[in-house]
């Protein structure tokens, strides 16, 4: 299997747009309430640290699962591979072949493929290969290993041995900080008052808030304006 492409390029073998998001790095993830998990993921992404053989992280939509998996891959660089099962499910289990040659394998949305006998057997073989190669496996899902409808007992047993972390959603006050952290990464100044305005006028999940921030970034660049409340109000009204 070819080397992991540079950040933002396409995994050519899979012929799918498996791009790592530019913002998905550990520095842009507010780890409040999830400090132990982020610490472990950082260790797992570095070959010279005793991070263990991997972990399973789970949580609700927009809690940062994909962000963290991609951040781990970004940190590990060419030694890692990121697999979003929501996109790869229709490609078939053949996409898992040979992946144990990577130091780090990150599987996102694993619930998309469990319950299928062929996929589960391929995944079990991959787990065995990773173990034999002293690799590391990070899995993200919407539920814990016991909460996922895994049919193959051996696979259930193997995945249940991974350290499991429930990803905690951010509290209200922390969402302002998280928005400002993302804004700084984009080179934006997001005043606290403007951030609170966004929280009070839009959907409150972080995925929606980040998407809105992306739109505001483009509009502010186009208009050469700062992210003041009047400017944000006008953009939101027009959209």
**Are 72 and 149 part of one and the same domain?**
yes
What is the CATH classification number for the domain harbouring 188?
1.10.8.60
Bridge partner residues of 106 (DSSP): 82, 138
- The predicted model scores a pTM of 0.85
Q: 198-214 pLDDT, tens per residue? A: 999 888 788 888 889 98
144 is a domain residue:
yes
**Are 123 and 152 part of one and the same domain?**
yes
Length of the chain, please?
239
**Are 56 and 100 part of one and the same domain?**
yes
SS3 readout for 133-167: CCCEEEEEECCCHHHCCCCCHHHHHHHHCCCEEEC
**Are 16 and 92 part of one and the same domain?**
yes
Q: 29-82 pLDDT, tens per residue? A: 999 999 999 999 999 998 777 768 999 999 999 899 999 999 999 999 889 999
207 is a domain residue:
yes
**Are 54 and 38 part of one and the same domain?**
yes
Q: 116-136 pLDDT, tens per residue? A: 999 999 999 999 999 999 999
Which stretches within 9-133 are classed as H helix?
35-44, 65-76, 85-88, 117-132
Q: By percentage, how much of the chain surpasses pLDDT 90?
A: 72
Tell which of 106, 136, 166 closes a domain: 166
24 is a domain residue:
yes
CA triple 175-181-184, angle to 5 deg: 140
What is the CATH classification number for the domain harbouring 85?
3.40.50.300
**What is the count of structural domains for the chain?**
2
180 is a domain residue:
yes
d(CA 92, CA 144) in angstroms, rounded, equals 24
Structural domain that includes position 233: 172-238
Q: Are 178 and 23 in contact (CB under 8 A)?
A: no
**Are 40 and 113 part of one and the same domain?**
yes
Q: 158-205 pLDDT, tens per residue? A: 999 999 999 998 888 899 999 999 999 888 899 999 999 999 988 878
d(CA 121, CA 37) in angstroms, rounded, equals 28
Give the closest residue to 1 by CA, choosing from 92, 87, 80.
80
Please provide the average confidence, as pLDDT, over all residues in the chain: 88
Q: What is the pLDDT of residue 208?
A: 86
Q: What kind and span of H or E run contains 56?
A: strand 54-58
4 is a domain residue:
no
């Amino acid at each position: 299997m070819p080397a992991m492409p540079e950040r933002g390029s396409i995994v050519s073998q899979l012929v799918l747009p498996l791009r790592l998001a530019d913002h998905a790095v550990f520095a842009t993830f507010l780890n409040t309430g999830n400090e132990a998990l982020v610490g472990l993921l950082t260790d797992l992404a570095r070959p010279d640290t005793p991070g263990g053989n991997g972990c399973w992280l789970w949580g609700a939509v927009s809690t940062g699962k994909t962000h963290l998996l991609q951040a781990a891959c970004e940190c590990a660089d060419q030694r890692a591979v990121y697999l979003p099962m929501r996109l790869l499910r229709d490609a078939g289990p053949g996409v898992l072949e040979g992946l144990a040659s990577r130091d780090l394998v990150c599987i996102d949305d694993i619930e998309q493929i469990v319950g299928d006998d062929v996929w589960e057997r391929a995944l079990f073989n991959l787990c065995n290969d990773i173990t034999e190669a002293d690799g590391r496996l990070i899995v993200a899902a919407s539920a814990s290993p016991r909460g996922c409808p895994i049919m193959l007992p051996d696979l259930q047993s193997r995945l249940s041995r991974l350290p499991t972390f429930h990803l905690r959603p951010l509290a209200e006050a922390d969402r302002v900080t998280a928005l400002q952290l993302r804004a700084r990464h984009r080179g934006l100044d997001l005043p606290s008052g403007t951030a609170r305005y966004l929280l009070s006028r839009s959907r409150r999940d972080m995925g929606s808030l980040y998407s809105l921030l992306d739109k505001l970034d483009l509009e502010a660049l186009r208009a050469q304006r700062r992210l003041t409340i009047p400017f944000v109000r006008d953009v939101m009204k027009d959209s």
